[in-house]
Each structure stands twice: as C-alpha cells, then as structure tokens.
Structure 1
Amino acid sequence: MKYNEYKELYDHLSTPEDIDFLAENFGYDKELLLVVYTQRIVRDTTRRFYRVKDQAKKMAWAWQHGESFVEVARRFDFPPILTALMILEQRHLSRKQFWKMLSELDRVEDRRLRRDLAEASKVDIVYSPEGSARQYARGRWGEQKLQSWLKGKGLEFRTEKDLRAEYDKTPDVLLHKPVEFDGSKKYWIESKATFGDPYEVKRHIKKQLDPYTELFGDGMVVYWFGFVEDADLPIPEGVSVVDANFFESPPVPYSYVPVGAVQAPGHRPIRGDEVDLET
C-alpha cells in the first residue's frame, strides 16, 4: 500500500463504525481495518495517557454523580475501559483487582458497577477483554502461519520460547541454517500481525530489528497485513521487509470475527499493561 492511500485510510478510521463503512464501500479487508484502527487508538492513548490521568479525580466525580464510564470516556475522548480503570483507582481499587473484576463480571455484586463495566467492555473494542483476546489471537495466527511455512519447506528453527533463556532479545524464529533471500543470508524471521506503517516500523527497528541484527546477523520481518511500500525508513542493512505474499499467493486472509462475537477458546486473560507507554 502506498503512503497516501494508507494515510487517507488511517485518517478515516476514527470510530468502530468506520470499519464497516470502509469495508462495505471501498472493499477493504475488515481485519486490516481493525488492525489500523487499533494502532491509531493505541497511539493516541499512549500520547495522551498521563494528561488524561491528571483528570482522574474529575472523572471519578462525574461517575459518582451518575454518568456511566462510557459517558465519561466520551467527554474526555478516551477508551472506556481505561477510563473505568482510572475512575476505580480513585476508589482505591488496584489494577490487578480491576482486570480480575473485568474478566469476572458475573461476580460483581454492585449492579450499577457491573452494568457500567459491561457497557464499557462492549463499546471499547481495543482495551476490553475481547479486544485483548483478538490481538493475542491475531499474533498467534501469524506465528503459526510462519512456522507452518517453514516446516513445509523442511527448514529447522528455534522459537522465541526456545531462545528466551539464552538471549535478552529474541526473534520469533531463529533458523538452524540461513536461507538466501534479497541478496543475503537470513538467519532469523520476525512475525508481525500488524500493518507496517512508518510509526510501527520505526518502533520495531529500535526495539527489535536493530538488536536482532547485532545478535544474529541478517534477517527478515513479515507484516501479515501489509506495509507502506514507498516509505523511506532506516531499515537495518541486511533486513528484508515482506508481507503475506512472500509465503503464499494469493494470501489466505485472517478470518474476521464480528466485533462483539463470542471469544474463541484459548485466548489469554486481559493484561493491565497494554498501553504502549514506551517512547
């Protein structure tokens, strides 16, 4: 995807309803749109997190005087689940207690609190337990596609789990024998079930691609939902950026599950640290 097309798409994904509109009117894949929407929300939340948190007492006052978590969230233009967290922290509820409560709503005795949390979970498609589960499932899908492809080619490898005890920084796959591609031997492959726009790729260069290159040599990163093709980025020498077309043609898309559908089995529980506060 060219940058201008991506930027227009990004700018038009301001609400969950925009996902259906863009898919139905312009033919975009819904999961791609959900990925880009999620990236936009996480970035805006990261940028404004502490500024909004400074207003937590005002938010708690509004909730105590009858507004729902969703109503307060809309007033502060902030994700409902994180709004609820900030409000309940003002009532001395710990983060651990909050995430546990959110995952066990049937056990919340206070009827209003239970209703407001349920509404916030339904509206917030990024930070709710369902949103968290979707992101985790998407990541596992990408890793499994990569591993299946390698096994189909008869290529042996070690996974991130295998490497964790030996290295501080670990790619998703470290090949036993490198493969030739794009003018160099690739020793490792990183799987990203995201869209590789300039912001995302720069983050990955700093946190992962540069360290992997120093530790293991040349490698490859796959963005399963595509990347901006005409962006001028400081990709480490010897690192190739590819999308799903490298592994299969035509690519088999991720199976989109409508927002609000029942969670698939095997999803991890919600975590409380999913705002990316690293700069």
Structure 2
Amino acid sequence: MDTSLYNEIVNVIKNFNGLTRNCAKKLQETFPNIDTNTLYSILNIQYQRKMRCTYGKFQNNRNRYWDLFQKALRNNEKSGILVKLSEMFDIAPCLMAKLILQKYFDDHQDLDKNNEKKEGSVNINTYLKNTYMIPDSDLAYEVFLCTVFDNLYSPLVDAMRLSLGQQYEVRLQKEAIKLGLAFRGEEYLRKYGYDKTPDLKLDVPIVIDGFVINWIEGKAVFADEDVHSDYMKNQYLSYWNRFGPGLVIYWFGYLKTIVETGDKRFIVRDYMPTNIKKIWSIQNGNHMPEETTVKKTDNNNSD
C-alpha cells in the first residue's frame, strides 16, 4: 500500500470520535475498494497505540467514571451506561469496564478481623470473560454490554482473532501442499527443541524471484513500519539466524516502505507466490532448479 493512501486511512481513524465498530463502518464507506480485513487491521493497530498512550490518564480518572456510573444508576438511566461513558471519553468499552471493575472490587474487597482489607489482587480479566461471576447484577450486565459493543478488546474478539490466525495458518499449509512443497510445521519443530519457529520450515529450499527461501511465515495483519519492526526483532531475525533467508506473508497487506531494497534476510509479500523454482537436493543428482507455476486463481481459496 502506498504511503499516501495509508495516511488517508489513518487520518480518518484519528479524526473519528466514537466506538471503533462505528469507525470500521466509516472506513468501509470511505474506502470501498480496500479489503475489509485490511481496514480493520489498520484500525486495530492505530487504536491500540492510542489506548497505550492514554490509558494512564484514564486510570487516574477512575473515580470520576465510577461516580458518573453510580449517578446514572440512581437516575434509572437505560442500560448501556458504561458503553455511553466509553464513547463520551473516547476509551474502548472493555477498558472502561476494567476501570469500573477495579474500582468496584477495591471498594468491596473482603475485610479481615481487624477491619482491614485483605491482601491479594483480583483478576479483572476473569470477570470480564465471565460476567456472571460479578456479584452486582447491574454491573454484571453493564460489563457484558461492553464486551458486546467492543470489537477490539472484548474476550470474544480475542477468540475470533486467534481463530483467524489459525485459519490463515491452515491456508498457508494448503497452498504450500498445492505447490508440492515439502515442509515441517511449528509443532514438529517445537518437538525437536526450537522455541521460535516459523509457520513452515522447508525441507527443500525454493527460489522466488531469484531469492532462496528456507522458511515461510504468515501473519493475518496489515504491516506498517512499527508492526514489521516488532516482528522482525522478535521473530524473523531468529528464523534467519537459524534457517537462513525466508518469506514473510502479510495476508492483509503492508506499507511499501517496510521493504528494504537488497535485503538478503527475507522477502515480503501479501500472497503465497506461485512462480516458484524447486531446488532438488544434490543427493538426487539434479542440480537444476525445477520451475513450478500454479494459476493465480488457486491462491484465492482460503478454506
């Protein structure tokens, strides 16, 4: 993706006030020709960065949010109070729910025989995932609504994100099999003691656009410079040190500026290339690469 188009998308996100689910709809309307997964991934990245920068301020205002919540309850306002507060203060609903839960449990923590609060912190995430465990029924329902209206920080979204990642891992394996590649998966490599493993470690290297590939890693995200840099430091460089050069696939696209000209460690694509050349082992007595080409249309099957 060109930098100019990326900046247009980011500007829409930064200038939008309200819930991220509504921002996602705005992005789809503004950029109808861009894949929905790509837009959502960019929104996810930008909003999480924003929340990391401002969450400390929200923590300091926790008592204020609690007072507003209690006032709304006393006034018998309609359900969805916490969702409205999150929209008012531009904070993710589930993060608002966490702040309110922290305040609630701080005020209702059990007292010991000396009328002092017992030590030990409450795992807020447990109550966010299991709202029926919250003793206060009104608060429980309000927190539940936060998990419904939050499309970035909800436990349900976390499960969907994990499922999406697994779906694209399966897709990568299927496309590799269609191309006739011999490979080992993550489970096999971990079994033999590798702590950091790519999605696929090729038994026989291949050549793509003149670049030798020993491993393939797929990510179901859009990659800008910061995302790519984090993955490179935490994963790709380890793969390169152990296995040599490889291929990185960002299924939802990437910013063109992340590609370094002449990089010999890995190449970056947003699809599984089909114009590959297989390098047969010397033991087979064939030193010439065999070129394999598969129609691009086969690459669109995600199942």
**TM-score category (smaller protein):** 0.7 to 0.9
**Which structure is richer in relative contact order (CA contacts within 8 A, separation 6 or more)?**
1
Other-structure match for 1:12: 12
Range with greater deviation from structure 2 (151-160 or 56-65): 56-65
Letter in 2 for 1:132: D
Other-structure match for 1:70: 83
Aligned length: 255
Q: In structure 2, do the counterparts of structure 1 residues 105 and 5 end up closer, same or farther at CA, with 3 Å as the change threshold? A: same
Question: Is contact 2:131-2:144 (8 Å) kept?
Answer: yes
1:37 aligns with 2:43: yes
1:7-38 per-residue CA deviation (whole Å, 9 max, x = no partner) reads: 11122134422333332454232222222211
Distance 1:53 1:64 in 2: 17
Alignment of 1:114-263 (within 5 A): 114-165=140-191, 166-231=193-258, 233=260, 237-244=264-271, 246=273, 249-250=296-297, 252=300
TM-score (norm 2): 0.73
Alignment of 1:92-111 (within 5 A): 92=106, 97-106=123-132, 108=134, 110-111=136-137
Identical counterparts, % of pairs: 27
- CA deviation after TM superposition for structure 1 residue 86, in Å: 2.6
Which structure would you say has the larger Rg?
Answer: 2
Distance 1:81 1:156 in 2: 44
TM-score (norm 1): 0.79
Q: In structure 2, do the counterparts of structure 1 residues 102 and 253 end up closer, same or farther at CA, with 3 Å as the change threshold? A: farther
Letter in 2 for 1:21: K
- CA deviation after TM superposition for structure 1 residue 236, in Å: 5.1
RMSD: 2.9
- CA deviation after TM superposition for structure 1 residue 245, in Å: 5.9
Does the residue aligned with 1:246 lie in a helix, a strand or coil? coil
Distance 1:162 1:95 in 2: 39
1:12-69 per-residue CA deviation (whole Å, 9 max, x = no partner) reads: 1344223333324542322222222111112212233334334334434443443732
Other-structure match for 1:21: 26
Q: In structure 2, do the counterparts of structure 1 residues 111 and 20 end up closer, same or farther at CA, with 3 Å as the change threshold? A: same
Q: In structure 2, do the counterparts of structure 1 residues 180 and 95 end up closer, same or farther at CA, with 3 Å as the change threshold? A: farther
1:232-278 per-residue CA deviation (whole Å, 9 max, x = no partner) reads: 658952300011263673553879xxxxxxxxxxxxxxxxxxxxxxx
Other-structure match for 2:97: 84
